[in-house]
Amino acid sequence: MNNTLIAVVFFLFFVACEQTSSNKTYPLHLSDAIMGTRYTIKVTSIPSAINKAELSTQIRNLLSKIDKKMSTYRQDSELSQFNKSQSIAWQSISPSLFVVLSEAKKIHQLTQGAFDITVGGLVNLWGFGSDPMTQIAVEDSEIDVALNSVGSNFLQLDKNNQKIKKDIPDLYLDLSAIAKGYAVDLVGELLEAHEIVDYMVEIGGELRLRGGNANNQSWRIAIEKPTAEARMIQKVLPLSNISLATSGDYRNYFEVDGVRFSHSIDPRTGKPITHKLASVTILSDTTIVADALATALMVLGSDEGYKLAERENIAALFIIKVTEGFVEKATPAFEKKLKRDNAMNKIRHGY
């Protein structure tokens, strides 16, 4: 596992609820490594009929199963086996993997190619994948070759028979921008199946929030100011019943001869993004959608991304680099969804 990546994945969020509820304890608090990153799960209250140890085991087993299916950090995962295969024949896959691939194709179409899970070859080429970072500027000729194997149109899905196939042998899938969100949703659904209504599930910065924290308040999630110099809070969001994901380019990058190369690769050009968008935060009813859209809008940038988000009624907050610092630009859907969640908070918590 790449230690550099582990250090990077948590840069997007401070969980500010812990600053206000540090004197309280959670009956269930889990944290560990998974999918090339880390997860944190906090449950505020557990029904008396639920065995905490058994529930913890169920959660860990669920995450382990997802990891074994979708991680590029595991050579034995279902996804890695598909990537290594040179076959262009139809292959049967697990139901969970098929769900994620289907959602990825939808987001690809919605964003007109800005979100593309076949970008994995380019991510690896630039040194931001599961292989150690090379931190070497890539030649245009190498990019051109890699682009020949990029395109979700090369991945075919057979919904009726739950099979997939490559149109080209070298197609490489990377689910790092969507699988974490899917895993967060499944853990949340597991908790809710046990009638747990107050929890926070976070994997690599992707969050699903329900109810309140240990102080009987809404979860307070702080978006980090997108600067590499120091860790500061840009904005605190009190949230209770929503999913959230943020994508940014201000920590995971390298420089060569004074040129900065971001980890956010535009699958349409094969190169790191160069625009002024520092980070984008998505509010959504599901984390899988928030996860994928945050990546897509980060690739598109503040102008093209905002137009898409406004047109498709996506709740997005853009933080844009300007000469004097940063400016925020939220879509109407973001303001509406935030107000709705805050109204629900007031009803539930009585403030």
User: Of 10-24, 78-92, 226-240, which gets the smallest average pLDDT?
Assistant: 10-24
Q: What does the pLDDT read at residue 130?
A: 59
Other beta carbons within 10 Å of 109 = 11
Average pLDDT, the chain: 86
CB distance 223 to 233 below 8 Å = yes
Instruction: Name the β-bridge partners of 220.
Output: 238
Coil, helix or strand at residue 235:
strand
Whether the pLDDT of residue 269 is over 50: the answer is: yes
Residue 84: DSSP 8-state:
H
CB distance 171 to 184 below 8 Å = no
Q: What does the pLDDT read at residue 9?
A: 33
Q: What does the pLDDT read at residue 177?
A: 93
Say if 79 falls within a structural domain: yes
pLDDT in tens, 185-230: 999 999 999 999 999 999 999 999 999 999 988 999 988 776 655 5
Say if 273 falls within a structural domain: no
pLDDT band at 5 (very low <50, low <70, confident <90, very high): very low
Q: What does the pLDDT read at residue 160?
A: 96
pLDDT in tens, 282-306: 999 999 999 999 999 999 999 999 9
Give Cα separations from 72 to 11, 36, 124, 167, 174 (angstroms).
Answer: 21, 8, 11, 20, 7
Percentage of the chain exceeding pLDDT 90: 64
Angle among Cα 21, 26, 30 to the nearest 5 degrees reads: 115
CB distance 204 to 38 below 8 Å = yes
Percentage of the chain exceeding pLDDT 70: 82
Say if 194 falls within a structural domain: no
Q: What does the pLDDT read at residue 131?
A: 60
Coil, helix or strand at residue 255:
strand
Say if 314 falls within a structural domain: no
For residue 296, give the amino acid letter.
Answer: A
Say if 115 falls within a structural domain: yes
Number of independent structural domains in the chain: 1
> Residues with Cβ < 8 Å from 138, sequence gap 6 or more?
125, 126
Angle among Cα 280, 128, 89 to the nearest 5 degrees reads: 100
Q: What does the pLDDT read at residue 86?
A: 96
pLDDT band at 18 (very low <50, low <70, confident <90, very high): very low
Question: What domain range includes position 142?
Answer: 75-166
Say if 107 falls within a structural domain: yes
Q: Is 259 exposed, middle or buried (0-12, 13-18, 19+ CB in 10 A)?
A: exposed
pLDDT in tens, 119-174: 988 888 877 765 655 666 778 898 999 899 999 999 999 999 999 999 999 999 99
Q: Which two tokens stand for residue 120?
A: 């994995």
Q: What does the pLDDT read at residue 132?
A: 56
CB distance 85 to 164 below 8 Å = no
Report d(CA 283, CA 219) in Å as an integer.
14
Closest Cα partner for 211 from 68, 75, 43?
43
Q: Is 209 exposed, middle or buried (0-12, 13-18, 19+ CB in 10 A)?
A: buried
Report d(CA 195, CA 55) in Å as an integer.
12
Say if 244 falls within a structural domain: no
Q: Pick the residue with more confidence: 40 or 321?
A: 40
Whether the pLDDT of residue 254 is over 50: the answer is: no
Mean pLDDT, to the nearest integer, of 78-82?
A: 97
> Residues with Cβ < 8 Å from 94, sequence gap 6 or more?
69, 78
User: Of 12-26, 30-44, 93-107, which gets the smallest average pLDDT?
Assistant: 12-26
Coil, helix or strand at residue 200:
strand
CATH of the domain at 138: 1.10.3980.10
Torsion of CA 26, 32, 35, 39, to 10 degrees: 20
Coil, helix or strand at residue 175:
coil
Angle among Cα 212, 218, 224 to the nearest 5 degrees reads: 120
Closest Cα partner for 271 from 283, 260, 285, 282?
260
Q: Which two tokens stand for residue 234?
A: 């840009």
Say if 86 falls within a structural domain: yes
pTM, to two decimals: 0.88
pLDDT in tens, 303-330: 999 999 999 999 999 999 888 888 999 9
Coil, helix or strand at residue 261:
strand
Other beta carbons within 10 Å of 230 = 6
